[in-house]
Chains A and B, each alone.
Chain A
Amino acid sequence: MLAKREKVARVKKEREFKISEYFVVFGLIVMCILISIFRPVFFTPRNIINVLLQISINGVIAIGLTMVIITGGIDLSVGSVIALAGVTMGLLTDAFGAENPATAFICIVAALIIGTLAGMINGLFITKGKLPPFIATLGMMSIARGLALTISGGKGVAPLPKLIQTLGGTGIIYIPIIVMGCVYIIAWWLLRYTKLGRNTYAIGGNNEAAILSGINVPITTIKVYSISGLCCGIASILLVGRLNTAQPTAGIGYELDAIAATVIGGTSMTGGEGKIVGTFIGALIIGVLRNGLNLLNVSSYLQQVVIGLVIIVAVMSDTIRDKK
């Protein structure tokens, strides 16, 4: 009897799953088919790798952001933190010499530490300073950007060590894609199989209930924002590696693309709900759309309009389904 009920429930659950989770996947496939019909070149291995390469940076940022948004927060500082970590790498290369084999490692460690630290400070402002995440990370957005401009004197820094260029995809084009894939797998695993992951959902789902279940909400929050910062550190390595130059003005508006990928992927802005796989698909949709529109010779101005519409339609279909 019980087993039967369990089975019925499972079947029901799977059906629900199909309708709600695969909607965006379905949209993605339709988009790919349409683009392929008009521009067959879209569906070539070379172009697909190109798309994946293009989304790798946004894809990595969106991972951290997804976790932040699941807690019911937001991180606006991602773009600025990337710029700060980037110019730091540029300046360190300058100081230690691009040919010095240790420089690349110093740069990588520095980028990851700066990103994590910035995130941790965001988390501290939010938990200890009792600031709304929007305000705390808006402040950090300006602070990190200002610091990036200050230490670089407002100018781009080049070149970067060979190893970092390689990580950015110079030479072996797959590397940023592999990096992105690894980060996605780790994040998926983290959200599903660790206490931190479960508590991330609990905080966003019901903060009060999380506190009254003995969950250490401040520490969890700080950890999640630190992870978002760490993802920025990783993204900055991919970015400066690919461009072989570190610009203090890099990453402007990146937070918007990352938020877009997150919400298209089905994460709720009010927190408590969201899937890391969804975010990947969200990032993919934005990438395919950009690539497809380019192939179709749609101007970059008009592309922004289309992407805006896609965000609205994707989220709207979500809320309409919720109502039903």
Chain B
Amino acid sequence: MANQTLVKMKNICMEFPGVKALDNVDFDLHEGEVHVLLGENGAGKSTLMKILCGVFKKKSGTIEYKGEVVDIKDVHKAQEIGISIIYQELNLIPYLTVAENIFIGRQPMHNGMVNWNKMYEDADKILKSLHVDINPRAKILDLGIAQQQMVEVAKATSVKADVLIMDEPTSALTEKEIKELFRTMHTLKKSGVGIIYISHRLEEIKEVGDRATILRDGKYIDTIEFKDGVVDLDNIIKLMVGRDLVSKFPPKDTTIGEEIFRVENISSKGLLKNCSFNVKSGEILGVAGLMGAGRTELMRAVTGADKKESGEVFIRGEKVEIKNFGDAVDNHIAYLSEDRKGQGLVLLFDVKQNITLANLDRIKKNGLLNLSKEKKDAAELVEALNIKTPSIRQKVRNLSGGNQQKVVVAKWLYTECDILIFDEPTRGIDVGAKVEIYKLMLELAKRGKAIIMISSELPEILGMSDRIVVMHEGEISGELSIEEADQVKILYLATGGK
């Protein structure tokens, strides 16, 4: 406690229409520490941080910065006093270069003109200090998600920030990149920067955290100090969800039946090479692989969202033609994209409209939409899937990530699909909601649906799958039964067996 207190937030309250987002929350941050902020989705973590960096206006409460009460009225003010944030969603301009993005709004000038050489040199220096190998002249749209994330980190650290907020920075990073990020965080810590760290990956906080504050339903629950790296994760989870979690992965009692879905020799230009797999009724097929291995691309090709060069798709042994996504829907195939907000939901629509989106025919009566049937059916699904929403008329953009994911599941259940392809179903979703999604997947399997699950989290793959296929550079590099699979074998196949 010898370190100076950088930020002290007291009795912070915040309301959204109909929701009390924050209720008398306290939070503080010392110099040179990593303070982890924990809580389920919708617990108020992001809201609290958005207040600190001037995006939202608090309803009541005080913020002290370095001992003085400050009024952070907008984002500029926050930056001015030294508070920087990296959002979960990346905020980069795709058509500009890495260096331009890092120095956006504060380019080094020379005689009233941008000093391009200096800008590229400085950017290079910053990237080198982070140990990342990115060309500062590269355009953002040519980079992968993980690299873009590193650019965001570079951008945030390039301003002289005393407080750095990181909202789930690792959700799209590989192990190696996460290690690099942690190293960078360590360097920043040593130089006296206070870091507020939001993450759903509880394993990580052991490595980086000094303290953790837990929020639940907009309320402050507890702050825990990690002494000598001892972290009681079970206790933390208990505090987060407010109940004991027996196991992350619910027990299985599914029976595997006949083959429902089979694809053979799917290829597409430069991406996929002769991919074949099948999945049976009641089975969960895990698809593992490193980022960029072509897992999403394979599923998009199979469902007709992208063009495939060759390959055949069979449903219950019969060959089907899938030219576009409409054909996939007609054949009872559902694809739940990893990008829920961008590709899964119409955020301007309310819950019921999103649920019926893929199967409006089901509420048609004499050619017209039967709005009362829509309400009734949507309400049933909301109830069945335990979607937490004030009303089926609530716009989905106001729901938390886990509930949004459930709306997407509801949408596909409404199409009476037999084959569900989940692409990273729990990305950005908190522990409690994750378990609910797992339960939901098992329930679907129990009802005889065939489930394909792409996941980058190995515990998830091992905990949920009945069988696992591993992809490497656009090819299926191996198949493992759940009995023989372990992390080492999967990684071996995912890296091309080297």
B94 at the A interface (CB under 8 A): no
B230 at the A interface (CB under 8 A): no
Residue contact A195 to B369, C-beta cutoff 8 Å: yes
**9-residue interface stretch from B99-107, B312-320, B357-365:** B357-365
Residue contact A193 to B369, C-beta cutoff 8 Å: yes
Residue contact B330 to A9, C-beta cutoff 8 Å: no
| Residue among B305, B360, B393 making CB contact with A211, cutoff 8 Å | B305
B199 at the A interface (CB under 8 A): no
Q: Report Cα–Cα, A214/B344, bound state, in Å.
A: 11
| Residue among B347, B358, B394, B411 making CB contact with A206, cutoff 8 Å | B347
Residue contact B344 to A272, C-beta cutoff 8 Å: no
B117 at the A interface (CB under 8 A): no
| Residue among A202, A205, A214 making CB contact with B325, cutoff 8 Å | A214
A39 at the B interface (CB under 8 A): no
One digit per residue, 1 when the CB lies within 8 angstroms of any chain A CB and 0 when it does not, for chain B 455-486 equals: 00000000000000000000000000000000
A94 to chain B, nearest CB (A): 41
Residue contact B346 to A202, C-beta cutoff 8 Å: yes
B399 to chain A, nearest CB (A): 13
Q: Report Cα–Cα, A212/B330, bound state, in Å.
A: 12
Residue among B357, B361, B415 with max Cβ neighbours from chain A (10 Å) = B357
Q: Report Cα–Cα, A214/B305, bound state, in Å.
A: 9
Residue contact B329 to A214, C-beta cutoff 8 Å: yes
A155 at the B interface (CB under 8 A): no
- A residues 136-164 with Cβ under 8 Å of B? none
A254 to chain B, nearest CB (A): 29
- Assuming the contacts A5-B390, A9-B393, A194-B368, asked whether A212 and B344 have C-beta atoms less than 8 A apart, the reply is yes
| Residue among A8, A215, A272 making CB contact with B326, cutoff 8 Å | A215
Residue contact A213 to B357, C-beta cutoff 8 Å: yes
| Residue among B330, B346, B391, B415 making CB contact with A272, cutoff 8 Å | B346
Residue contact A214 to B343, C-beta cutoff 8 Å: no
Q: Report Cα–Cα, A195/B360, bound state, in Å.
A: 6
Q: Report Cα–Cα, A210/B329, bound state, in Å.
A: 12
- Provide the residues of chain B in CB contact with A216, threshold 8 Å: 326
One digit per residue, 1 when the CB lies within 8 angstroms of any chain A CB and 0 when it does not, for chain B 267-306 equals: 0000000000000000000000000000000000000010
Residue contact B368 to A193, C-beta cutoff 8 Å: yes
Residue among B337, B367, B391 with max Cβ neighbours from chain A (10 Å) = B391
Residue contact B342 to A10, C-beta cutoff 8 Å: no
Q: Report Cα–Cα, A255/B225, bound state, in Å.
A: 65
- Provide the residues of chain B in CB contact with A10, threshold 8 Å: 391, 393
Nearest B residue to A11 via CB reads: B18
Residue contact B17 to A16, C-beta cutoff 8 Å: yes
**A interface, over-half SS:** helix
A112 to chain B, nearest CB (A): 22
- Assuming the contacts A13-B393, A193-B368, asked whether A205 and B17 have C-beta atoms less than 8 A apart, the reply is no
Q: Report Cα–Cα, A16/B357, bound state, in Å.
A: 24
B156 at the A interface (CB under 8 A): no
One digit per residue, 1 when the CB lies within 8 angstroms of any chain A CB and 0 when it does not, for chain B 151-178 equals: 0000000000000000000000000000
Q: Report Cα–Cα, A32/B426, bound state, in Å.
A: 55
Nearest A residue to B382 via CB reads: A2
A229 to chain B, nearest CB (A): 23
A143 to chain B, nearest CB (A): 30
Residue contact B347 to A212, C-beta cutoff 8 Å: no
Residue contact B390 to A209, C-beta cutoff 8 Å: no
Residue among A8, A10, A209 with max Cβ neighbours from chain B (10 Å) = A209
- Assuming the contacts A10-B393, A193-B371, asked whether A208 and B343 have C-beta atoms less than 8 A apart, the reply is yes
- Provide the residues of chain A in CB contact with B438, threshold 8 Å: none
Residue contact A8 to B369, C-beta cutoff 8 Å: no
Residue contact B361 to A195, C-beta cutoff 8 Å: yes
A125 at the B interface (CB under 8 A): no
Q: Report Cα–Cα, A273/B350, bound state, in Å.
A: 12
- Assuming the contacts A198-B369, A212-B335, asked whether A8 and B346 have C-beta atoms less than 8 A apart, the reply is no
A201 at the B interface (CB under 8 A): yes
| Residue among A193, A195, A205, A215 making CB contact with B349, cutoff 8 Å | A205
Q: Can you name 13 extra interface pairs (CB under 8 A) apart from A5-B391, A206-B348?
A: A9-B393, A16-B17, A194-B368, A194-B369, A195-B361, A195-B369, A198-B353, A202-B349, A205-B346, A213-B358, A213-B411, A214-B415, A215-B326
